[in-house]
Each structure stands twice: as C-alpha cells, then as structure tokens.
Amino acid sequence: MTILSEELGELIGQGETSAVEFKSADVRPESLAREMVALSNTLGGTILVGIDDEGRIEGMDKPDFDQWVANIARHNVSPAVAPDISVVRVDERNIGVVTIPKGISKPYQTIDGKFWIRVGSKNRNATKEELSRLFQQAGLVHYDLSPVESSEISDLDDQRLADYWQTYYEIPFLELNETERRKILINSDILAPLENGFAPSVGGLLIFGKYPQRRMPQSAIVFAVFGGVEITDEVIDKKEITGPLPDLIANTAGLVKLFSKTEIEIEDLQRNETHRIPPKVIREALVNAVCHRDYSLVNRKTTVYLFQDRLEVTSPGRIANTLTVEKIRYGNSAPRNHFLLKYLDNMRFVDGLGRGVPMMIKEMGERVEFEEIGELFRVRLYL
C-alpha cells in the first residue's frame, strides 16, 4: 500500500489513534516490535517514524530503513509479521511509514514473551480474558468446549437430550442407566472435565440447558422495537429472550415477524402478503449471531433491534481470525464455536457449508450490510 505525502499529512494531523502510532527517529527495536505486536493483535494500523508524540515532524535519516524494519518484524515478533514499508517525503523531511495488517496468526508476542494489544492510542499487555479471546480467534482454543464451572449436570434438560439422541442417532437416552448416559455426554463434549469431575460445557449448556442464562446471562438476546430510525427514538417494545439456542432463534424470529410490517397486494380479489425481509434471511442472521458470537465476552448480549427502516442484529466478537467482512460475502468461513456449529448443523439450523451469507446477499442485494465495530459484528437488513 502506497501512502502519498498528502495522505500522510492528513494522518499526522489526526494525531495518534487506535490505528496510528507516532515514533521518533531514534526509536529502539523493542519499542517498534511492541507496536507491531499490538497492532497485529488488534485491527492493524500504521506506525510513522520521524514524528514526535505531539505530532511534530522531526524526520529521520536511516538509509537502510526498510531492511531495519523488516529484520525487527522477522526476529523481534513471534510469529513474524510482514509489514508494508516505505519512506515518504513531508516538509522536506523523510518519514518512515510502516503499515501493519490485521494479524492472521494471532496471538502475536514480542521476544520477551509479552502479548500486547492496542486500546485507543495506547498499548498494554493483554489480560487473561483478552488473551483467551486471541487464542480463540486463532482457532487454538474453543471456548464452547470449556466447562461452565458454576454449573451442574442437573442444569441439563433430560428431555431435550432424549429428543436429540432419539431423533438423530436412535438412542433411547432415558432408558439407559446413569453410567451409560454420562459416558455419552462426556464423549459428545456436552460434559467437560473439571479438576474434580465434570460439568456441562459452554456449548452443552447453551444447546441443552434448562435455563442457560442462569449460569451464562450473556447468552440472552435483547430484542427492541423503535418508533424511528435512530437508537434515541421511542422504544415501542423491549424484551429479553432466554432459553437454549434453538428456542432463542425460533422465539426471536417470531417476534421479528410479529412486529415487521408486511406488504399487502390485492390481485384477482386475492390478498397476497409479502415479507419485507424474507424469513429465511432473518433466520440466517439470527443463527449466525448465536452460533458465531464470542461467549467469553460476559458483559455483552446479542441485540436484535427493529427500526422503522431496518433490522439490526449485533453479536459480540469480531469475525474469526482469518476472515474479513469482504471474505464472508463469498462463502468463506472459519467458525469460532465448533461445538455449536456441529449441533446446530445436526438440528438443521445450518448446513456448515458457508452458504448463509451469500444467500442473504442474493435475497437482499444492497439491502444487506455487514460491519465490524470494535468487538462487535453487525448485520443490517433494510426493509
């Protein structure tokens, strides 16, 4: 990526941000590596060398700048990164421009073993929870397979388990003795190991729990209907939808249908009703939201907001590590929650082939938008 001097001037004028960092000409290799790691672990960005913290242009004089930076990216960052490196002339001074893409091999660390992330215009060490999310994004850890430590086997719904095993595997679950049932639940990852026994896994509780929100309140869906097109407009109705994921999908879809206006045409004395958003598109958006969200973000819930001109479905968690908003439009997928995907696939909610987003685009055209907003992923479906 080539940055022109005019564009660089605009970047400098904006000051340091979550995606722009200033460094003086005498920046040390370990400091530059820290910036590379932080940007790679977050959303990428640009490091400008030869600018002081106040945004004043100092310039720099490093004849081998590109090789110097490349060596730091290769030897001081693990795994190595591949920045775009250039030197741009501004106000008769040379400015080093190091563009770091969003990392595809997270988590990155400096050679002293520290995992840095970018928060606003500053860097800091990742917390335990943030580091866990980085490993999840890399596909190295699957949160939905981890145990819910506060839960018990009694939190699972025996009838739901029986219906599932009978329907899909013809196993009479309730007729089995306790040892046999427990063995099935362990081998199917519905129960996960603890230090002193077993507890329902995150995925097991979300799919088969009696009331998953008791242990995982973040798994509820907040549904709201607005009287206008802004979040500040009058709230006509608001509900918190609870239950296991299959119920969340069905009940939320029902509410969207109830509050969505249909277009009515009279043709040959017959009344024809047309949904302003196809039901299968609504269902796909909801399934994706609960299947692919990041459940380790315990302070955020999935939201489904119906405005007068659109439906917005917002789920916590960025797109998985190797994906971008552009890639998912063409059917690329890298699931975060393998357990949830497997069981929702078995239950015919998804087909696991990555066709959902292309279908939405085919049905909606330009009336569908996808956007990453910090730690959130949002789908807009215009009426």
> In this predicted model, which residue has the larger pLDDT, 86 or 262?
86
The DSSP H or E segment spanning 267 is strand 262-267
Distances (CA, A) of 23 to 145, 273, 346: 42, 61, 52
Separation of alpha carbons 41 and 196, rounded Å: 35
Q: Is pLDDT at 266 greater than 50 in this prediction?
A: yes
Predicted confidence at residue 264, as pLDDT, reads: 46
Q: Is pLDDT at 263 greater than 70 in this prediction?
A: no
Instruction: Check: CB of residue 208 under 8 Å from CB of residue 181.
Output: no
Predicted confidence at residue 131, as pLDDT, reads: 79
Instruction: Check: CB of residue 317 under 8 Å from CB of residue 292.
Output: yes
The DSSP H or E segment spanning 199 is strand 197-200
Full-model pTM: 0.70
Instruction: Check: CB of residue 337 under 8 Å from CB of residue 144.
Output: yes
Supply the CATH classification number for the domain 5-126.
Answer: 3.30.950.30
Predicted confidence at residue 273, as pLDDT, reads: 58
Q: Are strands 302-306 and 221-226 parallel, antiparallel or unpaired?
A: parallel
Please state which architecture CATH assigns to domain 218-382.
2-Layer Sandwich (3.30)
Q: For 96-125, what is the HEC assignment?
A: EEEEECCCCCCCCEECCCCCEEEECCEEEE
Predicted confidence at residue 246, as pLDDT, reads: 96
Share of the chain above pLDDT 90, in %: 66
Average pLDDT over residues 34-42: 93
Give me the residues paired with residue 372 across strands.
377
> In this predicted model, which residue has the larger pLDDT, 159 or 106?
159
CATH 3.30.950.30 range(s) for the chain read 5-126
Q: Is pLDDT at 223 greater than 60 in this prediction?
A: yes
* Least trusted range by pLDDT, from 43-52, 125-134, 324-333, 374-383: 125-134
Q: What pLDDT digit, counting tens, does each position of 297-351 carry?
A: 889 999 999 999 999 999 998 887 667 888 888 888 778 898 999 999 999 998 7
First to last CA, the chain: 37
Q: What pLDDT digit, counting tens, does each position of 112-158 carry?
A: 999 999 988 899 998 877 777 777 666 666 889 999 988 999 999 99
Separation of alpha carbons 232 and 89, rounded Å: 46
CATH 3.30.565.60 range(s) for the chain read 218-382
Place 47 in a pLDDT band, splitting at 50, 70 and 90. very high
Q: Which residue has the tokens 């609870």?
A: 242
Amino acid identity of residue 214, one-letter, is: R
